[in-house]
């Protein structure tokens, strides 16, 4: 049986937190509800929620401060649910480390869709396996090592993360902004030059012919697609 996911709702408006909590229960989630930052921190220490829904205007402070605190310690999705519609609030929340922003008033269906989407993104980035093989490329996720055939690849941490991200999202069209957000972080969505530079260096390290790449395909005007038809995550590395 699937373990029920626990969602922490930080919201000082009783009507909203009750409505959200009830809807989440109907969808099979468990919830914890708290109206302020102080008790949210206590609940975070005592429980391990799978996702946080966060209001910004709270009686004991601004939720953005809490995003930074949580982000420095926990890797779980944070969705801001706020009545603040200004673009600068949205950007500041995403910069602080929130994964998504839902504006009040919202429909519960929209919120549920955002929750599922945030969970999918996080699951995609956290493989359950330690070693994955894609054609000739082998990744040891735990030790941050990569091989092309028998050759150990000298990758920078960012190159490794980019390669890992591609393999975990193999065969999908990945828009530039999404790759930048997921690999570099929120706030980097427009840094196209970063991405181009890293794609070039990564291609040099993994492609036999960079002019005709067999792994990293360019999807013109959209992004990239990492081709991986032979995928295996059941292999193990010999210990030495």
Q: How far apart are CA 63 and CA 81, in angstroms?
A: 10
Residue among 50 and 55 whose Cβ is closer to Ca ion: 55
By rule CB under 5 A, what string of x and - marks binding of each residue 125-144 to Ca ion? --------------------
Toward Ca ion, which CB reaches closer, 53 or 146? 53
Query: Which one of the spans 14-22, 52-60, 62-70, 203-211 is the region binding Ca ion (CB under 5 A)?
Result: 52-60
Distance CA 88, CA 184 (A): 20
> Whose Cβ is closer to Ca ion: residue 14's or residue 110's?
14
Peptide bond into 105 cis (omega under 30): yes
185, 139, 155, 166: which is closest to 223 by C-alpha? 166
Task: List, in order, residues 6 or more apart from 41 with CB less than 8 Å away.
Answer: 66, 69
> Residue 30 in contact with residue 6, Cβ under 8 Å?
yes
Which residues 57-86 are close enough to bind Ca ion by CB under 5 A? 57
Contact string (CB under 5 A) for Ca ion, positions 183-202, x = contact: --------------------
Our finding on whether 55 is near Ca ion (CB under 5 A) is yes
Candidate segments 36-44, 47-55, 148-156, 211-219, binder of Ca ion by CB under 5 A: 47-55
The interface with Ca ion within residues 1-20 (CB under 5 A) comprises 12
Q: How big is the site for Ca ion, counted in residues (CB under 5 A)?
A: 3
- Least distance CB 13 / Ca ion (angstroms): 6
d(CA 125, CA 76): 11
- Phi then psi for residue 27, to 5 deg, are -90, 5
What residues make contact with Ca ion under the rule CB under 5 A? 12, 55, 57
């Amino acid at each position: 049986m699937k373990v029920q996911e626990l969602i922490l709702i930080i919201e000082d408006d009783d009507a909203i937190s009750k409505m959200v909590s009830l809807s989440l229960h109907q969808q099979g989630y468990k919830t914890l509800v708290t109206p302020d930052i102080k008790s949210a921190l206590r609940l975070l220490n005592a429980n391990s929620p799978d996702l946080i829904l966060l209001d910004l205007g709270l009686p004991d402070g601004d939720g953005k401060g809490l995003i930074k605190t949580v982000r420095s310690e926990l890797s779980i999705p944070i969705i801001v649910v706020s009545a603040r519609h200004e673009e600068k609030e949205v950007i500041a929340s995403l910069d602080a480390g929130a994964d998504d922003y839902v504006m009040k008033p919202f429909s519960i269906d929209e919120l549920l869709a955002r929750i599922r989407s945030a969970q999918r993104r996080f699951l995609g980035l956290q493989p359950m396996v330690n070693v994955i093989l894609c054609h000739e490329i082998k990744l040891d996720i735990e030790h941050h090592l990569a091989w092309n055939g028998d050759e150990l690849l000298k990758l920078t941490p960012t190159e490794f993360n980019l390669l890992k991200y591609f393999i975990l999202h193999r065969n999908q069209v990945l828009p530039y902004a999404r790759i930048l957000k997921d690999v570099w972080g929120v706030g980097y969505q427009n840094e196209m030059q970063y991405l181009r530079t890293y794609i070039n260096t990564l291609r040099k390290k993994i492609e036999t012919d960079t002019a005709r790449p067999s792994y990293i395909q360019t999807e013109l005007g959209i992004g990239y697609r990492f081709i991986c038809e032979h995928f295996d995550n059941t292999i193990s590395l010999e210990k030495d």
